[in-house]
């Protein structure tokens, strides 16, 4: 290896591996005794004061003090002011113990609880050194942190502010990750900027930064104690930078500040979205105040201040754009109007050029277009489009634009789209922008492609991160889009079919069975984990099986032509972690009827064909102004493959005792981490304290439910969602003995449970559509309907209204639910006429030909236009 390469490798290794302090702290967490290190021998030029606000931090303070006590800089160069902000745990005792060990350095102050800003202000009033810094109570720093800063200040006395590298410490997995969103500041090493340079990088945090106390005093700066729940740091830093009259600002890559991501996710940043403060207080008291401060100090707003506000604003845009349920959870209509008014005032201080040049990694083009709605006037912006998909069989390109009046040209002649679709982009109850999906036909890759509007001729076309400006050959666009396809070259027309990797018995299995029976000429495989309970059953039936994750699975997956599945997770469509799935046709059979708005997820799935079941669902995808990016040719109204078998099974079912099927769906906020490349998840301790667990356990254990079952000769069957089953198996969710625990791991199919069910009780699960498909009574137990659409799940209210469109009564309490159940039982388990009418209007395919329609739709993908 060349010497230069060796040097680069050693540099990378040094940066990648934790420093000695990190290794020591890591070891101390697992050791039974505490090890004390020796103080460093480096004598610093400056003395530094660390100010820390402490509130109930007993679990973290030893790590915090260890990292300071074992610095390579002399302990005489450090002063630590810990401000106890009214802690009610053992924090004070830990601080005082360290104070006894290091009396010359540590000052302990106590105050009534008033928040982090007030604690920091008290600490600054007691500081006496020129340089101060802030380290949060649960964070720590590299052992050479202060030495490296001191050596830099010694060399560069003009420094007025120093920013240090920010590294995440993931408490749950004990990992260190250099993944902070602003890590660009340190990627090329140290950098320095004049105080009046418009390109000063974004600095929002007072932690990992050093300030001159003399300047803070001269400029009369302090943390805004009313600035909650966030942005008090950014406001202070922004005012400090704007106040500078000389000197430089430095960004140092080597000193590392370790920010702890707590296992409990209860930090101020984690919980800041739970109230209205981040949407009403932060814009008014934070963003606008900083703009006003800039005008007072400079007479204008520097670009670095605008970028800092845009960066903070970007998190709001990402969280709430196309997420009305999140806005409704924290703001009423008046609050939404107030936020929009504040945002218009904020945008009045941002130059269009700053917005246009703001990196896409923080605000993508569609998000910027939404923000433009709040500019007055909006002003001209560059016209950008995206090549979202190519269809080589039909020779067409799917182009996404954000202006309606876009013209497309091939070899200088205007060409009309063969299909168009408008997609609505929503932000706080406002239709802020639209995107347009258009299929553009071409005849020859050598044709020259060009697009633009009357105002902007020659727009920018983005293809896989590469920008093409002006005229470009179609072949160049295709080459860029298909660049990695050579690794996945198609070998014949081979179809991969699957449901979950762990479980079958869904649309995938039923469609594959149809292929075996009706189209044996089609070369197709069914994928499943070999240890699945369904493996042997399907193999015995004659399914051509591939073991998920095996070398053979990967080999055929690379060369197949189509991936057909009821699941759209990464482990299905993006197994290799790249764009390989775009070289195939991905056919999404769906797991359930799409009754809610899943656009924020599904719009990221590169679907060639979407299978839908009912007309309302189909139109929710395809009509203009819907939130989905899919055009009509990508969506097919066929019915579910599994409904053919379900209909046949129900028609041939023998008389049996009534069954009450209890089948709740899941809650995303209770889910543990995904186990890599799988549908499996780890269990989560949050589940044990959840209302979800308490309510469903209470229902199943209800003496009244058992009495109803006995009185009407019913069996009660609990069919848990796949994510609940591990909690049942591990004894974390109790199912009474009188209740039969249904499982897809048994001999019975979920189709058997649906066909035998006399009534189905769910909350929001789309599986109730299967029961309604058979015309059977349904009940909704929605004890948490307010929180369900406010973030506890990934659902956004869609076209389906449970009151107007549901297939049965809705109950919010256990007693009300059991009252409704008793009425259904008294009617002989027959639905009320109101609900049977809805069922008949909803399901237009009860002819046993759903699989046939799906097959024809898939074959149509290969037909030329």
Are 279 and 331 within 8 A, CB to CB?
A: yes
Strand boundaries in 709-847, DSSP class E: 715-718, 740-741, 759-762, 778-781, 810-811
The whole-angstrom separation of Cα 725 and Cα 719 is 9
- CA terminus-to-terminus distance, the chain: 54
Residues 6+ apart with CB under 8 A from 628: 423, 599, 602, 603, 620, 621, 622
Are 812 and 782 within 8 A, CB to CB?
A: yes
Q: Torsion over CA of 282, 285, 287 and 293, rounded to 10 degrees?
A: -160
Q: What angle do CA 381, 387, 388 make, to 5 degrees?
A: 115
The whole-angstrom separation of Cα 470 and Cα 519 is 47
Structure tokens at 88: 């009610």
**R_g of the chain, CA atoms, integer Å:** 31
The whole-angstrom separation of Cα 435 and Cα 423 is 5
Task: Using DSSP bridges, classify how beta strands 460-463 and 419-427 pair: parallel, antiparallel or unpaired.
Answer: unpaired
The whole-angstrom separation of Cα 31 and Cα 44 is 32
Counting DSSP H helices and E strands in the chain, the numbers are: 34, 33
Q: Torsion over CA of 829, 830, 836 and 840, rounded to 10 degrees?
A: 80
Q: Please give the full DSSP string across 490-528, using - where no structure is assigned.
A: --SS-EEEES-SS---SHHHHHHHHHHHH-TTS-EEEEE
What are φ and ψ of residue 434, in 5° steps?
-135, 145
Angle between helices 365-372 and 303-320 (to 10 degrees): 100
Q: Give the per-residue pLDDT at 22.
A: 53
CB atoms within 10 A of CB 698: 12
CA distances, 68 to each of 8, 58, 494, 611, 701 (Å): 30, 16, 61, 59, 54
Which residues does the chain have with pLDDT short of 70? 1-39, 263-270, 379-381, 671-681, 743-748, 789-795
Q: In a 3-state reduction of DSSP, which class is residue 54?
A: strand
The whole-angstrom separation of Cα 474 and Cα 320 is 36
Residues 6+ apart with CB under 8 A from 571: 501, 677, 678, 679
Residue 283's closest CA among 341, 361, 330, 237?
Answer: 341
Chain-centroid distance, C-alpha 6:
38
Are 125 and 51 within 8 A, CB to CB?
A: no
Q: Give the per-residue pLDDT at 686.
A: 81
Q: Where are the alpha helices (DSSP H) in 127-206?
A: 145-155
Q: Give the per-residue pLDDT at 574.
A: 86
Q: Give the per-residue pLDDT at 1.
A: 41
SS3 content of the chain, % helix, strand, coil (to 5): 40, 20, 40
Structure tokens at 495: 């179809």
In the block, residue with structure tokens 């069910």: 757
Q: What is the pLDDT of residues 300-320, one digit of tens each?
A: 999 999 999 999 999 999 999
CA distances, 351 to each of 285, 348, 378, 777 (Å): 21, 8, 11, 59
The whole-angstrom separation of Cα 790 and Cα 812 is 17
In the block, residue with structure tokens 């409904």: 643
The whole-angstrom separation of Cα 317 and Cα 376 is 18
Q: In a 3-state reduction of DSSP, which class is residue 551?
A: helix
CB atoms within 10 A of CB 685: 11
Angle between helices 850-860 and 641-652 (to 10 degrees): 170
Are 213 and 124 within 8 A, CB to CB?
A: yes
pTM: 0.83
Residue 225's closest CA among 106, 70, 53, 342?
Answer: 53
């Amino acid at each position: 290896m060349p010497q230069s390469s060796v040097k680069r490798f050693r540099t990378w290794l040094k940066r990648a591996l934790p420093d000695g302090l990190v290794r020591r702290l890591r070891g101390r967490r697992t050791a039974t005794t505490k090890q004390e290190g020796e103080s460093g021998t480096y004598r610093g030029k400056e003395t530094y004061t660390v100010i820390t606000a402490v509130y109930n931090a007993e679990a973290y303070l030893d790590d915090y003090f260890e990292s300071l006590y074992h610095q390579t800089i002399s302990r005489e160069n450090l002063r630590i002011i810990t401000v106890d902000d009214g802690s009610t745990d053992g924090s004070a005792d830990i601080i005082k113990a360290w104070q006894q060990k290091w009396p010359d350095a540590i000052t302990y102050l106590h105050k009534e609880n008033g928040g982090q800003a007030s604690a920091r202000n008290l600490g600054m009033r007691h500081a006496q050194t020129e340089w101060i810094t802030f380290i949060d109570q649960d964070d720590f720093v590299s052992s050479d942190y202060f030495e490296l800063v001191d050596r830099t200040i010694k060399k560069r006395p003009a420094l007025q502010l120093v920013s240090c590298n920010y590294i995440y410490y993931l408490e749950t997995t004990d990992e260190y990750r250099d993944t902070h969103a602003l890590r660009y500041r340190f990627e090329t090493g140290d950098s320095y900027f004049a105080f009046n340079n418009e390109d000063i990088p974004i600095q929002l945090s007072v932690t990992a930064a050093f300030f001159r106390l003399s300047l803070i005093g001269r400029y009369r700066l302090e943390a805004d104690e009313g600035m909650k729940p966030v942005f008090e740091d950014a406001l202070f830093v922004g005012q400090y930078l704007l106040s500078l009259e000389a000197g430089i600002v430095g960004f140092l890559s080597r000193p590392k500040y370790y920010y702890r991501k707590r296992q409990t996710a209860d930090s101020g940043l984690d919980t800041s979205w739970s109230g209205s403060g981040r949407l009403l207080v932060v814009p008014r008291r934070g963003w606008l105040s900083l703009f006003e401060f800039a005008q007072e100090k400079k007479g204008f707003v520097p670009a670095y201040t605008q970028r800092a506000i845009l960066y903070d604003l970007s998190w709001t845009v990402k969280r709430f754009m196309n997420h009305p349920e999140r806005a409704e959870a924290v703001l009423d209509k008046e609050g939404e109007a107030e936020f929009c008014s504040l945002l218009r005032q904020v945008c009045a201080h941002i130059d269009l050029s700053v917005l246009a040049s703001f990196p896409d990694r923080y605000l993508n083009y569609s998000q910027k277009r939404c923000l433009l709605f709040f500019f007055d006037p909006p002003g001209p912006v560059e016209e950008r489009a995206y090549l979202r998909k190519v269809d080589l069989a039909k020779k067409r390109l799917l182009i996404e634009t954000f202006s309606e009046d876009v013209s497309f040209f091939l070899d200088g002649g205007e060409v009309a789209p063969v299909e168009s679709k408008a997609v609505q982009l929503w932000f706080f109850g406002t239709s802020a922008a639209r995107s347009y999906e258009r299929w553009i036909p071409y005849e020859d890759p050598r044709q020259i492609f060009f697009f633009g509007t009357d105002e902007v001729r020659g727009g920018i076309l983005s293809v896989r991160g590469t920008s093409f400006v002006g005229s470009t050959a179609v072949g160049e666009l295709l080459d860029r889009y298909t660049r990695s396809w050579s690794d996945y070259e198609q070998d014949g027309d081979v179809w991969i079919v699957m449901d979950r990797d762990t479980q079958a018995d869904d649309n995938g299995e039923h469609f594959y069975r149809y292929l075996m029976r009706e189209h044996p000429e089609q070369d197709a495989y069914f994928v499943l984990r070999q240890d699945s309970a369904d493996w042997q059953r399907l193999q015995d039936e004659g399914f051509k099986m591939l073991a998920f994750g095996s070398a053979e699975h990967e080999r055929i997956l690379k060369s197949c032509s189509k991936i057909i599945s009821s699941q759209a997770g990464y482990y299905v469509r993006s197994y290799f972690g790249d764009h390989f799935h775009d070289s195939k046709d991905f056919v999404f059979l769906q797991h359930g009827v799409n009754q809610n708005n899943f656009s924020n997820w599904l719009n990221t799935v590169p679907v060639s064909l979407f299978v839908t079941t009912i007309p309302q669902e189909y139109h929710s995808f395809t009509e203009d102004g819907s939130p989905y990016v899919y055009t009509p040719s990508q969506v097919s109204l066929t019915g579910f493959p599994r409904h053919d078998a379900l209909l046949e099974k129900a028609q041939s079912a023998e008389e049996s005792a009534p069954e009450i099927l209890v089948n709740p769906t899941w809650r995303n906020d209770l889910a543990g981490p995904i186990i890599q490349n799988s549908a499996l998840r780890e269990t989560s301790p949050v589940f044990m304290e959840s209302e979800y667990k308490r309510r469903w356990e209470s229902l199943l254990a209800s003496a009244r439910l058992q009495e109803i079952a006995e009185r009407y000769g019913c069996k009660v069957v609990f069919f848990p969602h796949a994510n609940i089953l591990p909690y049942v198996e591990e004894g974390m969710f109790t199912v009474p003995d009188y209740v039969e625990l249904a499982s897809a791991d048994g001999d019975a199919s979920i189709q058997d449970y649906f066909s035998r069910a006399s009534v189905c009780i769910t909350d929001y699960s789309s599986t109730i559509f299967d029961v309604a498909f058979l015309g059977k009574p349904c009940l909704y137990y929605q004890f948490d309907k307010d929180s369900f659409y406010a973030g506890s799940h990934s659902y956004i209210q869609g076209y389906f209204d449970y009151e107007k469109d549901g297939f049965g009564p809705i109950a919010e309490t256990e007693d009300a639910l059991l009252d409704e159940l008793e009425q259904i039982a008294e009617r002989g388990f027959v639905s009320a006429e109101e609900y049977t009418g809805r069922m008949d209007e909803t399901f237009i395919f009860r002819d046993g030909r759903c699989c046939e329609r799906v097959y024809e739709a898939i074959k149509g993908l290969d037909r030329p236009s």
